[in-house]
Amino acid sequence: CWGRWREESDDRAQRGGRWCGSSMAEVVASERRCACGVGPRRSGARQLWPPDVYPDAHITSLGLDADAEARRLLRMALRDAWPAAKRFDWQVGAVCELAPEESEVGYSGEDGTIFVKVRDPTKARGRFYSYSFVLATLLHELTHLSILGHGKAFYRRLREAVSACGADPAVKQEVRAHICAELLNAVCDNDARRAKGLLAVLPEAVSTRLPGAGN
């Protein structure tokens, strides 16, 4: 459950989305679990896959236009995140596409299901977020399987997850930049604990330039 900065990077004063939220119809009425102060959310009983078993078949998309690209982004992100999942013993139930009209960008369910938005609603129809942004979202939500909240311990684990993931060095650098950009979210939410935690772990967040989200 990231904060809200990606969808508001150009017009933060007018918009107020969050990064952890509802998605598919089957879970709309459920409770949610995220680090933004909401309680656990149950997305239905799913099998948990231990880190030594890659759940390739358990990627769910919405069946919208360019569905193959949505699934490709989720599958690639999960494959790159899997070394970190193995290292930290994250029990993943499934990775599901989050509807583009949702105000939030991702959240983690208590059953190990991760919801990630891959379509950028601020762009023309069919446009997707950059791969590095999708991977950053997935790693953020996976980290919440270990640590709730957005304190120093969370960002330390997220930094370790980025280092442990299987992405290319250039992609890892972009992922770190996306995480550093969460400082803007902390400032706009007046969340001093989050800002201090992020800066303690990633001091470059003060001057990091946000990479583009759309590709």
Sheet holding 106-108, edge to edge: 59-60, 94-97, 113-116, 106-108
User: Which of left, alpha, beta for 89 (phi over 0: left; psi -120 to 50: alpha)?
Assistant: left
pLDDT for position 205: 94
Q: Tell me how far apart the alpha carbons of residues 29 and 189 are, in angstroms, rounded to a whole number.
A: 26
* Extended beta strands in 66-202, E state: 94-97, 106-108, 113-116
pLDDT for position 21: 33
pLDDT for position 110: 77
pLDDT for position 3: 43
Q: Report whether 108 contacts 144 (CB < 8 A).
A: yes
Q: Tell me how far apart the alpha carbons of residues 15 and 103 are, in angstroms, rounded to a whole number.
A: 10
**Burial call 72-94: b when 16+ CB within 10 Å, e when fewer:** bbbebbbebbbbbbeebebebbb
pLDDT for position 128: 95
Return the structure tokens found at 121: 């609603």
Please give the backbone phi and psi of residue 96, each rounded to the nearest 5 degrees, phi first: -125, 145
The tens digit of pLDDT for each residue in 108-119 reads: 887 888 999 999
- DSSP assigned state of 20: S
Low-confidence ranges of the chain (pLDDT < 70): 1-57, 125-126, 210-215
pLDDT for position 57: 46
Sign of CA dihedral 195, 197, 199, 205: negative
pLDDT for position 126: 65
pLDDT for position 105: 92
